Amino acid sequence: MSSIADYALPNPINQNRSGVIGRPVDRYEGPLKVSGTAPYANEAKTPSPPTYGVMVGASIGCGDVVAVDDAAAKAAPGVKLVWHLFDQPPGQGAAGAKAYVQSQASADPVFVSPRVRYFGQPVALVVADTLENAAAAAALVQVSYAEDPEAAYAFEPAEAARRDNDPDSSIGEFEAAFAAAPVRLDETYSTPIQNHCQMEPCATTAWWEGEKVVIHTSVQMLKGPQHLVAETLQIDRHNVHLRSLYVGGGFGGKGSSYEDLALAALASRTLGQPVKIALSRQQMFNATVHRPATVQRVRLGATPDGRLTALSLIAATHCNRNAPFIERAAAFSRALYAAPNRLTGHRLQLMDIAVASAMRAPGEASGMVSLEAAMDELAEQLGLDPIELRIKNEPDRHPETGQPYSARQLVECMRDGAEKFGWVRRNPKPGMTRDGRWLVGIGMAAAIRGNFLLPAKAAMRADADGFIRLQQGMTDIGTGSYTILAQITAETMGVPLEKVVVEIGDSGFAPAPGSGGQFGAATAGSGALAAGMALRARLTAMAVGDPDSPLYGAPPEAVEFRDGLITVENRSETIAALVQRLAPAGLEVEGASTPAADIRQYASYSHGAQFAEVGVDPVTGEVRLRRMLGVFACGRILNEKTARSQITGGMIWGVGTALTETNRVDPRYGSLTSQDLGSYFPPVHADIANLDAYFLPEVDDKANPLGIKGVGEAGICGAAAAIANAVYNACGARVRDYPLTPDRVLAAMGAL
């Protein structure tokens, strides 16, 4: 087990002798993506012409399937198979069964229970020779239901309850301190259901090669889905070859797999033909997952000079009763500001609506919009500048655990950003700036997002052709995994990027956890570094032990890898020559990284500051972003270009949270009202005016051997609050329910 002290020791990444680390190189797989030749899951080339599956979704929210009339569908042209409760896929394991004890998933058989747990849940599958025939036949399947009269379709925050596995965090005496505070704020904020809206709908293509099923699917993590197929189909996991080569957006929504996965494999087994199943955009809304709504009560107590004496955030949220999940909107608040008396926690209501799950920065993305707006309100009450208020409450250690921060430049981000953005021009009095029909205002918010590290493996090989090949069961969901893994490989092995091949997205490769929780780069990258170090050790041993090598007899610790050479002082040979001579078939090694045993000694977070300028139309209540700047400190930056893209992308998610994105449950039916992109509104290009982000120099040598921290989710954190605060500054309307749609802004302006 390594120690956290090892992270600060010299290694190829923190030495960065070739300068590949940090360089803004183009995306490794970019040429394929800009030419449309990167094959996504639904586009995998099948060994014979595919058949097409279309799933039928439940038209009730909760209850039981009581009858299925599939006669018309079965008689329809081209139909090869119709499956449902009364004609089940054969050969499925019992629900929850695990033949392999260490499986990361248990059997999840399809159509074996009459129970409908949420609107849109797949209740039947039709497979036909063409997409057109499959879709037409699917519409002919008639399903009858008995709806459950007890179904809970309405979110009642007051009924949400504390869960045993998520106790409140209580420090000091919050209630007493709050009651005694000279300055108090007590406000409630809400956030709506949001949908991931990955541009690529979930899809699976499957075919069989003898005993083995080959699956191309669109997931963020490989092991769980691979094991789910094995357990559900009752086959050995080694006979499930699952690939997720290119993923058209994940954002947490492809952290789990859906019915298309097992059904494609099952149908292909039954038919002996490749099967492709893609979810429709409508199915993506109700039949996958979403970020649940929250109602958050924020209470802040402060001294007249702006020191927080009491801080509380209690967040109520909901999930499907069969899939417990807590949007932990209060968790971040335990790490952000100093206050001696604190009370934070979560309340959960079990409902019978679509499944709630992780969506980009789960917790922070919801919670920061309340606390960071509340801080703006408190600053106004105190007559303090919002940045000054935050700086006054900057902790020197984690306020609840007492851990030192691994690296924290929150204050630096706010100060540097304030200068670059022109914060000094902000008039603290709202409604004072006009430009044409627009009232103009600016606002800011802090950003914080937890940083994580998980165990990972990787395989690296040196081939006689001079290429270094990295293979890892990692995914690239648009984050840039391919690219940063290529950079880490090149820098570790001292070879040019052109001599690196990265292969990921394959369950047959050395496993890494995949993409999620912005841990991907640190986790997979540390695994790649470990593999590289193992390969260097092997190559070094070969060279110094080989009388034909110029390095023969050299002390191993003096060997260096640079410019494609393995070298000691003025003696060197190419890696290719060494491999050609001693391992002509190539040399492959596996490396593994595990988090340092004492990694919890430090509190590790990405930090940032968000600044926004908006225009508010005082007649209509419409809000338009005018400019936005994010300043972040996220450890070492592996690739300036892709990291900036991650951050600006996250910030734009914040724009959507602030202004456009919302879904709602119709409590009469239990379904989400917006079921397409014509009524659910991710931001479009016109919503995004001048928006940029940059990083402060930082090396976090307590986080991982790479000295990096996550950038994938940090950008969304606080972004929506900065916009809401700017709206207030523009027009004096304090909207505490997100998003800030025209009706809400008009209401807050007193117009309604």
Partner 1 sequence: MADPPVRAAPRATFQITVNGEARRVDVDLRTTLLDLLRETLGLSGTKKGCDHGQCGACTVLVDGVRINACLSLAVMHEGQQVTTIEGVGLPPDLSPLQRAFLERDAFQCGYCTPGQICSALGMLEEVRRGEPSQETLDLAAEIVPLTDAEIRERMSGNICRCSAYPQILEAIRDVAGPLGAGA
Partner 2 sequence: MRPFTYERAESASGAAKSAAETPGARFLAGGTNLLDLMKLEIERPAHLIDVGRLPLARIEETPDGGLRIGAVVSNSAAASDRRVRTRYPVLTHALVAGASPQLRNKATVGGNLMQRTRCAYFYDPAKPCNKRDPGAGCSALGGDARGNAILGASEACVAVHPSDMAVALAALDAAVETVAPAGRTRTIPIDALHRLPGETPHVETSLEPGELVTAVVLPPPPEGRQEYRKVRDRASYAGGLFSLALAGGRLALGAVALKPWRATQAEAALAAGATPAEAADAELAAARGTGRNAFKITLARRVVVDALEGGPTR
Catalytic residues: 713
Query: How far apart are alpha carbons 22 and 217 in whole angstroms?
Result: 31
Q: Smallest gap, in angstroms, from Cβ of residue 138 to partner 2? A: 10
If you ran DSSP here, which 8-state letter would residue 59 be given? S
Q: Which does 664 bind (CB under 5 to 8 A by kind): partner 2, partner 1, none?
A: partner 2
Q: Is 668 one of the binding residues for partner 2 (CB under 8 A)? A: yes
Out of 1, 158, 585, 686, point to the residue binding partner 1 (CB under 8 A).
686
Stretch that binds partner 2, among 220-228, 244-252, 475-483, 739-747 (CB under 8 A): 739-747
Binding mask 558-587 for partner 1 (x = CB under 8 A): ------------------------------
In the numeric block, the tokens 């690939």 are attached to: 243
Give the closest residue to 266 by CA, choosing from 139, 110, 113, 98.
110
Q: Any residues with CB less than 8 A from the CB of 15 and at least 6 apart, and which?
A: none
Q: Which of residues 140-169 bind partner 1 (CB under 8 A)?
A: 140
Beta strand extents in 133-292 (DSSP E only): 142-147, 169-171, 183-191, 194-195, 203-209, 212-217, 240-243, 275-278, 289-291
Q: Which two tokens stand for residue 192?
A: 């709506």
Stretch that binds partner 1, among 128-136, 426-434, 443-451, 736-744 (CB under 8 A): 128-136
Q: Which two tokens stand for residue 176?
A: 């007493």
Stretch that binds partner 1, among 92-100, 455-463, 549-557, 681-689 (CB under 8 A): 681-689
Q: Is 685 one of the binding residues for partner 2 (CB under 8 A)? A: yes
Which residue, 106 or 648, is less far from partner 1 as judged by CB?
A: 648
Q: Is 668 one of the binding residues for partner 1 (CB under 8 A)? A: no
Beta strand extents in 282-376 (DSSP E only): 289-291, 294-302, 308-320, 341-351, 355-356
**305 close to 167: Cβ distance less than 8 angstroms:** no
The residue count for binding partner 1 (CB under 8 A) is 71
Q: Which of residues 600-659 bind partner 1 (CB under 8 A)?
A: 641-642, 644-646, 648-653
Stretch that binds partner 2, among 134-142, 176-184, 311-319, 341-349 (CB under 8 A): 134-142
Binding mask 586-625 for partner 2 (x = CB under 8 A): ---------------------------------xxxx-x-
Q: Which of residues 62-101 bind partner 2 (CB under 8 A)?
A: 77
In the numeric block, the tokens 């809000």 are attached to: 623
If you ran DSSP here, which 8-state letter would residue 638 be given? S
Give the closest residue to 114 by CA, choosing from 60, 54, 55.
60
Query: How far apart are alpha carbons 155 and 292 in whole angstroms?
Result: 10
Stretch that binds partner 1, among 32-40, 105-113, 155-163, 720-728 (CB under 8 A): 32-40
Out of 156, 465, 598, 676, point to the residue binding partner 1 (CB under 8 A).
676
Q: Which of residues 622-641 bind partner 2 (CB under 8 A)?
A: 622, 624
Q: Which two tokens stand for residue 381?
A: 């009450």
The number of CA neighbours under 13 Å toward the Cβ of 223 is 16
Give the closest residue to 518 by CA, choosing from 414, 406, 634, 611.
634
Q: Smallest gap, in angstroms, from Cβ of residue 401 to partner 2? A: 41
Out of 9, 47, 676, 690, point to the residue binding partner 2 (CB under 8 A).
676
Q: Which does 660 bind (CB under 5 to 8 A by kind): partner 2, partner 1, none?
A: partner 2
Q: Which does 746 bind (CB under 5 to 8 A by kind): partner 1, partner 2, none?
A: partner 2
Stretch that binds partner 2, among 175-183, 518-526, 660-668, 722-730 (CB under 8 A): 660-668
Q: Is 201 one of the binding residues for partner 1 (CB under 8 A)? A: yes
DSSP secondary structure of 414-438: HHHHHHHHTGGG--SSTT--EETTE
Which residue, 323 or 747, is less far from partner 2 as judged by CB?
A: 747
- CA terminus-to-terminus distance, the chain: 63
User: Does residue 686 come out as left (phi exceeding 0), alpha (psi in the -120 to 50 range) or beta?
Assistant: alpha
Which residue, 477 or 749, is less far from partner 1 as judged by CB?
A: 477
Out of 26, 132, 465, 598, point to the residue binding partner 2 (CB under 8 A).
132
Out of 9, 15, 26, 179, point to the residue binding partner 1 (CB under 8 A).
26
Q: Is 669 one of the binding residues for partner 2 (CB under 8 A)? A: yes
Query: How far apart are alpha carbons 349 and 173 in whole angstroms?
Result: 27
740, amino acid identity? L
Q: Which of residues 329-348 bind partner 1 (CB under 8 A)?
A: none
In the numeric block, the tokens 């991710």 are attached to: 682
Q: Which two tokens stand for residue 503?
A: 């292969």
Give the closest residue to 518 by CA, choosing from 685, 662, 632.
632
The number of CA neighbours under 13 Å toward the Cβ of 525 is 35
Q: Which does 33 bind (CB under 5 to 8 A by kind): partner 2, partner 1, none?
A: partner 1
**624 close to 749: Cβ distance less than 8 angstroms:** no
Query: How far apart are alpha carbons 138 and 190 in whole angstroms?
Result: 39
Q: Is 131 one of the binding residues for partner 1 (CB under 8 A)? A: yes
Q: Which does 671 bind (CB under 5 to 8 A by kind): partner 1, partner 2, none?
A: partner 2
Binding positions for partner 2, rule: CB under 8 A: 59-60, 77, 119, 132, 135-136, 139, 282, 436-437, 619-622, 624, 659-660, 664, 666, 668-669, 671, 673-676, 678-679, 681, 683-687, 741-743, 746-747, 751-752
